[in-house]
Amino acid sequence: MVPDFSSHSLSRRRFVSLCAGAAVAGSAALALPGCVAKSGSSSNGSRASKSANLSRYISLTVWRGANKLDQGTFSGLTLDAAGHAVLDSTAVLDVRTLSDDYAKKPVDIDFEVGTWISPELELSFGATELMASWGATIPAGCWLEIEVRGRRKDGTLSDWLALARWSGAAEGEDGSLSSYSVQQPSEAGSTSACVFEAAEERRLYNVQMRATLMRPLGEDAAPSLNMASLVATLFDEDAELSEYAGEGGIDPIDVPQYSQVRSSVTAAAEGPEYSAPAACAMLLDWWNAGPSEDELSALGLVSDQRVAWAAAHMVDAQTQSYDTSVFATSLCASRGLVAYATRLSGLAQLEQVLELGVPVVVQLNVTSGNVPDAGYEAAAHAMVVCGIDDEGNVIVNDPAGVAPALSTVAAQQAASAADQGIASSEEPAAEGGTESPESASASSGEAAEEPATASSQVGDVRRTYPRADFESAWLNDSAGVAWIVHSAGIAVNVG
């Protein structure tokens, strides 16, 4: 029987909305190869793959590093020594009253605000979708709002449309506000899950984004915008798949392997919706940017509950989901990494990033029809691409790839229960005295033979998927969504 991890079916458009985001370090306006022309090819050195011919267009602009935020327009903000936009302590700031609609007891809050507005970007095509991303430092009680707008072919400019309000705090953290995507219909189109979708026949030829930093009136907190990016896209047709022309593959990067299923007796993080937090946790720990013991214990977690920690910081309070790409990359960016979610033209382009030693997260709709080797079905499923084998097949850390070993804590409790001849306390015995399968496995002591280490909550989740199946599901069913996360000292340019 094929496990069904898809709690609900997703159209391609809805999937794209779930997987929003983006940013690239130190680059100007970028046109991805093969994407801002009807067809194109790129070389990947000794391990080149023939690039896909695409009837799709992607334009990515990033304000960070060499392409600084000072290209935008400031109101109530100033640049600090690091090039970050912060609220101006010497200015008289505008005041705005808002409430956190997802708080237990919503109340009106007066905020001092400052805004950054990007330059108006001229596109070489008419975009049907806009996705904005950011890196920010948001103290407790403060907020960041992200908005976009566009100009149609006749020159008319749409209103500003909100994509998200973001605090970066863990769900329920004392003194912090919720993070959530905004659903907002308008005559120009609609926003949902951090994506603007243009109305029919209302494509956008010039685009712009706005970031608003907010702090409670009378306080001296200093929220900052550290980077911003805007992605405009138009997809007309499906992609043609690439052909692997390399030799020797790309050796898999040794990224920690975490699962989306239960990791310990106290962690709530389990199930299909946790693939994105699992992927995020893998990347954070690979780049030594994961949570400290103090950060874990503040949420009542232990050292091997990395996925639960990531999930607490990625939840979209509006949808109660964890799979919005931009929330994952914004979490990574808040930990000092360069992080963005974008669209790639195919595996040939992804391989260029792998060659630099940078693992890439992709999100795709997995079904028994498009990736039969997976053995499960899941919507907006996140995997960490770690390498390419000799035949061009894709090596991944798949959070759904295996049931986990029990955590160190759970393993100890299971071993103790087995010694006493009783069922594990994690799962009660089923009616009639028969243990559930999970309890039976725990009480047998099998998991105690190979308990997870302090930095790993599962066993092996490494999988290899056939190239054609994987690339088709990723590009054609899932719009080529990818996260690129790396340390600031590595130059990664997907343009």
CB 311 within 8 A of CB 274: yes
**DSSP symbols for 407-473:** PHHHHHHHHHHHHHT---TTSPPPGGGPPPHHHHHHHTTHHHHS---TT--SS--EEEE-HHHHHHH
Nearest-5° Cα angle at 243, 10 to 462? 60
Pairing of strands 30-31, 204-216: unpaired
* Whole-Å CA distances, 341 to 146, 432, 486: 16, 50, 12
Crossing angle for the helix pair 306-314 and 275-286, nearest 10 degrees?
110
φ and ψ of 439, to 5 deg: -65, -40
Which pLDDT score, from 0 to 100, does residue 239 have?
67
**CA torsion angle 36 365 380 395 (round to 10):** -80
Both tokens of 352, joined, read 């260029």
Q: From CA 463, how far away is CA 400, in angstroms rounded?
A: 10
CB 224 within 8 A of CB 333: no
Which pLDDT score, from 0 to 100, does residue 43 have?
28
Which pLDDT score, from 0 to 100, does residue 397 have?
96
Q: On the CB side of 156, how many CA atoms lie within 13 Å of its CA?
A: 7
In sequence order, what E strands does 53-128 have?
A: 56-63, 73-75, 77-79, 85-87, 94-99, 108-117, 121-127
Q: From CA 152, how far away is CA 246, in angstroms rounded?
A: 43
Both tokens of 300, joined, read 């009542």
Q: What is the pLDDT along the chain (495 residues), one digit of tens a residue?
A: 334 433 333 333 334 444 433 333 333 333 333 333 322 222 233 233 333 444 578 888 888 876 789 999 999 999 999 899 999 988 899 999 999 999 888 899 999 999 999 999 999 999 998 988 899 999 999 999 999 999 999 999 999 999 999 999 998 788 889 999 998 888 888 888 888 999 888 999 999 999 999 999 999 999 999 988 888 888 766 666 777 777 789 999 999 999 887 544 334 444 557 899 999 999 999 999 999 999 999 998 887 789 999 999 999 999 888 988 899 999 999 999 988 888 888 899 899 999 999 999 999 999 888 999 998 888 889 999 999 999 999 999 999 986 544 333 333 333 334 443 433 333 333 333 333 323 322 222 332 233 233 333 445 899 999 999 999 999 888 888 889 899 988 888 775
Q: From CA 296, how far away is CA 299, in angstroms rounded?
A: 6
- pTM > 0.85: yes or no: no
